[in-house]
Structure 1
Amino acid sequence: MGTKQINNYRVKSLVQQTANSIKKDIDKGVYRKNEQLLSINIYSKQYGVSRDTIEKAYIILKQEGYIHSVSGKGYFVIGKPDVRMKVLLLFNKLSSYKKNVYDAIVQTLGDKGRVDLHIHHYNPALLEESIEANLGNYHYYLVMPHFFDNANELEYLNILKRIPAGQLILVDKYLPQLNNVSAVFQDFRNDIYGALNEVTYHLAKYERVAVIFPFNRHHPPEIKDGIAQFCEENQKKFEVVSSVKLDELKKGTVYIVLAEDDLADLIKAVRITGNKLRKDIGIISFNETVFKELLDITVISTDFEEMGRKTAELMLQNKAAVIKNEFKIIIRKSL
């Protein structure tokens, strides 16, 4: 144990002197990583300092990342604090698009930040576990708030409200019910609606728009709402189907596809049935990939790398903002 040299006559408060004394011992290696510190009672008796002073000093050390507490056991040394910004990123799932967001955040932060990744799998309960276990341990909490279709909205809003508003950034989806919270997001309804209006000329030859919306994939329902609005305003039939079936493929239909496996099934079905892309059947796919570019598939997509960069910039600049991410349509030979 280190020798405590606390000068009551210095300007600094006794609490800060106590905290600084312990910090120096941690920095010098007197206290090693994972070593348990003296209990508040023992410290108070051994060094003649009040319990209140010790408790407040431990709180300072905990806030500065030198120590952590374990309920019912006491305080333990973490070591010299990592001065980098600590970020907890909570995705709903793993995918190539999410990887683009993650990579852009990490690259933009550089050596100024450390990003830990958790997955909540659309489950508010898992989100709650991650937040409860890590509240107070990070500077920022980045959350993709996509949940099960039947998730209780009040439940996940209350979970998110436990994070201080200035430390929470919503990524990919905005929740206007949360006040004073930053976000970098897609506007799913208006984005798809606007994209379809940009290509009304190319859609003129199709009488029907069908979105392949697989069950239990938890895609944002606002996508369907935006497509339905476009169809209503442009006198086109609108259908929602859960999968691609050969005997249900309809000429004169443009299919909007959200999932990669459904896109492969649709292309295969078009070929098997002898239909011609751009003439009998049209295809629009969500989210750009090299695969779709090579196959000449029309895509509508946000810029996931830009989403990650903008999110990181908010943290680096310590700035609060609600930013709608860019969304575009790339016309190719499938339309």
Structure 2
Amino acid sequence: MARKKVISLNPKSAVPKYRQIIESVYSAIERKSLKKGDKVPSINQVCAEFNLSRDTVMFAFNELKSKGILKSQPGKGYYIASTEIQLEERVFVLFDELNAFKEDLYNSLINSLKGKATVEVYFHHFNYKVFKNLITESIGNYTSYLIMPATFDNTSHLLSKLPQDKVYIIDRLKPDLEQYPVVYQDFEQDFYDALVEGKEMIQKYRKLVFVNPGGKEPAERSKGFKRFCEENDFRYEIVKSLNGVKPSLWEAYFLISDRDLVEMVKIAKYCKFKLGKKFGIVSFNDTMLKEVVSGGITTISTDFTEMGKTLADMVVTRDKSQIRNKAQMIVRNSL
């Protein structure tokens, strides 16, 4: 009888060889090619077939023994001791940066996976070299990979080194990553929908100004803002910074940067503009602080806590959906 093909290795894969051996045995058990009591190839056979060092194969077999999957019998070799595979769920999370609203996402994810997985979080800070190195170093060490590409485009060649069925994308729907499950924001539509939702309050303003610094910020927001203003005959302006801007009464400012938000609140206070009456401010990405600043700042924000829960559920259930995490306008005194 021909020996069962148990071990399969891909020499081009970046996954370490010892990890491929372990995953091969798990896979054979899952598809019932290996049953309790079945013999597996010997260390010498695996070394010879795949031109591996004895230490590499021994490392893999020892880990399988420590998990109770393999047992050895002196002079006879290795056998399957148990088919009860209990994979320790280890989740690799790669964010762009940590800020107040990202912390809500992080805490929600951690709390939702508590007792179900070990989570390790890293940050690339919009540095592609750091992004690349962290992903490369993570290969084969985790059971799930949650990755926030942020402003990076054309990363599919890098992410393809990871097992496709274990990768989840966070926050942005990237054309070159359409094969992966994702929880994303539709930045253009979210801004447009929020403005439509708040149109009755916005109508009193003669001009709408969107301060979009660009860079790491999604460009799609400008499209949603422009579309709303032109469809509804609002005077509008899109600027990169507050430099040279002289706010006037009956204007509403939409601010991405919290630094710009603080500056605009100070300007309004200096000019004695009463927020929400004849001068409006709207910020992006809600935080607890914005609930109380200047009597409450209106925000346009997705629910980052809900995003964390959704991501955790996808990891646990292996859901492969592409889910939009919608934003809404949270109305407070400043509008």
- Report if TM-score (shorter chain) is over 0.5: yes
Q: 2:234 aligns with which of 222, 233, 236?
A: 236
- Helix, strand or coil: the match of 1:239? strand
Residue 132 of structure 2 corresponds to which residue in structure 1? 128
Q: Cα deviation per residue 1:89-116 (whole Å; 9 max; x = unaligned)?
A: 1111111211111111111111221111
- Helix, strand or coil: the match of 2:175? coil
- 1:37-116 alignment, distance < 5 Å: 44=44, 51-52=48-49, 55=52, 57-58=57-58, 60-61=60-61, 83-116=87-120
Q: Cα deviation per residue 1:244-285 (whole Å; 9 max; x = unaligned)?
A: 358611332211111222111101101111222223311111
Shift of 1:212: 1.7
Looking at structure 1, the residues matched to 50 and 214 of structure 2 have their Cα atoms a distance apart, in angstroms, of: 58
- In structure 2, relative to structure 1, the CA distance for the partners of 1:66 and 1:116 (3 Å cut) is farther
- 1:261-300 alignment, distance < 5 Å: 261-294=259-292, 295-300=295-300
Q: Cα deviation per residue 1:120-163 (whole Å; 9 max; x = unaligned)?
A: 1112222111111111211111111212xxx5x33x23222332
Looking at structure 1, the residues matched to 64 and 150 of structure 2 have their Cα atoms a distance apart, in angstroms, of: 32
- Helix, strand or coil: the match of 1:112? coil
Residue 159 of structure 2 corresponds to which residue in structure 1? 160
Identical-residue share of aligned pairs (%): 29
Looking at structure 1, the residues matched to 284 and 206 of structure 2 have their Cα atoms a distance apart, in angstroms, of: 21
Residue 318 of structure 2 corresponds to which residue in structure 1? 318
Residue 304 of structure 1 corresponds to which residue in structure 2? 304
Shift of 1:293: 1.3
Q: Cα deviation per residue 1:207-228 (whole Å; 9 max; x = unaligned)?
A: 2211122254x11111111111
Residue 13 of structure 1 corresponds to which residue in structure 2? 39
Query: Does the 8 A contact of 2:185 with 2:324 survive in 1?
Result: yes
What residue ranges of structure 2 are gaps of 5+ in the alignment? 1-35, 68-84
Looking at structure 1, the residues matched to 131 and 227 of structure 2 have their Cα atoms a distance apart, in angstroms, of: 33
The CA RMSD measured in Å over matched residues stands at 2.9
Residue 146 of structure 2 corresponds to which residue in structure 1? 142
- In structure 2, relative to structure 1, the CA distance for the partners of 1:64 and 1:227 (3 Å cut) is farther
Query: Does the 8 A contact of 2:100 with 2:287 survive in 1?
Result: no
- In structure 2, relative to structure 1, the CA distance for the partners of 1:244 and 1:60 (3 Å cut) is same
Paired AA for residue 330 in structure 1 = I
Query: Does the 8 A contact of 2:256 with 2:283 survive in 1?
Result: yes
- Helix, strand or coil: the match of 1:323? strand
Shift of 1:166: 1.3
Looking at structure 2, the residues matched to 331 and 50 of structure 1 have their Cα atoms a distance apart, in angstroms, of: 66
- In structure 2, relative to structure 1, the CA distance for the partners of 1:246 and 1:82 (3 Å cut) is farther
Q: Cα deviation per residue 1:276-297 (whole Å; 9 max; x = unaligned)?
A: 2223311111122222212321
What residue ranges of structure 1 are gaps of 5+ in the alignment? 1-9, 19-43, 68-80
Shift of 1:243: 2.9
Looking at structure 1, the residues matched to 165 and 63 of structure 2 have their Cα atoms a distance apart, in angstroms, of: 17
TM-score (norm 1): 0.75
Residue 174 of structure 2 corresponds to which residue in structure 1? 175
- In structure 2, relative to structure 1, the CA distance for the partners of 1:221 and 1:139 (3 Å cut) is same
- In structure 2, relative to structure 1, the CA distance for the partners of 1:239 and 1:247 (3 Å cut) is closer
Looking at structure 1, the residues matched to 47 and 88 of structure 2 have their Cα atoms a distance apart, in angstroms, of: 33
Shift of 1:64: 5.9
Equivalences, count: 278
Looking at structure 2, the residues matched to 230 and 62 of structure 1 have their Cα atoms a distance apart, in angstroms, of: 62
- In structure 2, relative to structure 1, the CA distance for the partners of 1:65 and 1:272 (3 Å cut) is farther
- Helix, strand or coil: the match of 1:106? helix
Q: Cα deviation per residue 1:3-47 (whole Å; 9 max; x = unaligned)?
A: xxxxxxx963342x65xxxxxxxxxxxxxxxxxxxxxxxxx5xxx
Shift of 1:165: 2.3
Looking at structure 1, the residues matched to 51 and 63 of structure 2 have their Cα atoms a distance apart, in angstroms, of: 14
Residue 260 of structure 1 corresponds to which residue in structure 2? 258
